Chains A and B, each alone.
Chain A
Amino acid sequence: MSKNLLFNTSSELVCIPCNAMVFIVADRNYSTITVADGSEYVLTMQLGQIERRISEVINVADNRFIRIGKSLIVNSDYITFINPMRQKLTLSDCRTFRHEVSASKEALKALKDFIEKEAAK
């Protein structure tokens, strides 16, 4: 059963099932979570804080969530395309949504290698 990520401010509460979280991108003191239904939630949290929150919620064997560089966390279940040379990463459920994000060549190369190793297991 998927656990929920909970974020609250003085006036709002955001509660997202882990398996619905597609990716999180950070911009200075703000982070935007993109969810599988297309919604986006802006939080006044840095990515490190969100990373910690995720680590507190997920199971021991869960290694879906990958931090890429300083400003991106992705749910690897939704990774459909990686091109390190063009610095492109596509996240999609192959039905209803598709997002393109960017990261450094080195990080995407490391991500590609990691996913290839995981698939080979």
Chain B
Amino acid sequence: MKKYNEINDNEIRVISSDMQSKAPTSVKWYKKTNTVWFIIIICVIIIGGFLYGFLKSDRHNTIENPLTIVKSTESDTVRPSTTINSIIKKKSYVEITDTTINNTPFSIFTPRFAVARLQIGTEVLQDTAAAFVIQAADIRKDNGEIAGTYVSEGNLICKGQSKSGFCAIINGSPIIGVSDATPYLEQAIETNGYFFRQYPLVVGGQIVENKPKGKSIRRALAEWNNKIVVVMSLNRLTFHDFAQALVDMQVSNAIYLVGSSSSFGFAVDSAGNRIEFGQRMANAPKNTNYIVWE
């Protein structure tokens, strides 16, 4: 009996209830096994959560590791009982989830074990160390400059206030908000952080109306379930419909990212596969800028 997905395009198959009974296991046994597995998985998750919490609180304690010895800065003598903290950096990747909201397909990109920054220029698209690259601030059509205030590595690149939404990246973590004047701008400058402005879409779970009309592929940087994610529409939507979908998804705050099918970027999943989206433009403006997670 063929499995459900084993069919080629030249074949047809009548769907019958016999498919269920001809499955490797009977219906009752399958359902019973399904419930048992569900309980086992829940127990594993609970135990895993306890262990994670225990290990996390224990991370600050000194660890004696006889295999890895770090030289003290005060002495050249290596002491066998030197206590060290070993930090292992996990490889960053992006968790990609497909979902539907209001009957419209979306993809949610969640960076894992990654640190964020901003970068100007399309060279970053060739960066093999980056896990996720997506366009951030808009480019002004009149002079080719970045629209709105932009800070990179603590340097104020340009100033403007065309949009009230902002993203500040402080110590590698994005913070999203809506404010004409925000202390996060000064903090980004003082801490060698990053800052850019964009249209606000959702504030405190409430929709924000914006001026631009028309439909396009939409993208947003959002706070969702206490995580920073990027939400991307697969269909062309208006600003309003996109923001409404974010609200329905229970996003707390969200700002717009450069959308349209011409906005190119990529994400690397846990298997190391590079998933590209948008179209790569041959003559992208020199100030095309990206949020990069690495």
Q: Do A and B come from the same complex?
A: yes
**Residue ranges of A at the interface with B (Cβ–Cβ < 8 Å):** 9-12, 29-30, 40-44, 46-49, 51-52, 54-56, 58-60, 62-63, 65-71, 73, 103-104, 106-107, 110-111, 114
Are the C-beta atoms of A9 and B99 separated by less than 8 Å?
yes
Looking at B17-25, B116-124, B187-195, the stretch in contact with chain A turns out to be: B17-25
CB contacts (< 8 Å) of B29 on chain A: these are none
Is B11 a contact partner of A69 (Cβ separation < 8 A)?
yes
* CB atoms of B104 and A106 under 8 A apart: no
The interface residues of chain A lying within 8 Å CB-to-CB of B18 are: 55, 60
A30 pairs with B100, CB closer than 8 A: yes
Query: A2 CA to B232 CA in the complex, in Å?
Result: 37
Q: Are B4 and A52 in contact (CB under 8 A)?
A: yes
Q: Which of B86-101 contact A (CB under 8 A)?
A: 98-101
For chain B, the count of residues having a C-beta within 8 Å of the partner chain is 28
Query: B5 within 8 Å of A by Cβ?
Result: yes
Closest residue of chain A to B5 (Cβ to Cβ) is A48
- Please name 19 pairs of A and B residues whose Cβ atoms are closer than 8 Å in the assembled complex, sorted by A: A9-B100, A30-B100, A42-B105, A44-B98, A48-B4, A52-B20, A54-B15, A55-B16, A60-B17, A62-B16, A63-B16, A66-B14, A66-B15, A70-B8, A70-B9, A106-B10, A107-B9, A107-B10, A114-B12
Query: How close is A71's CB to chain B, nearest CB, in angstroms?
Result: 8
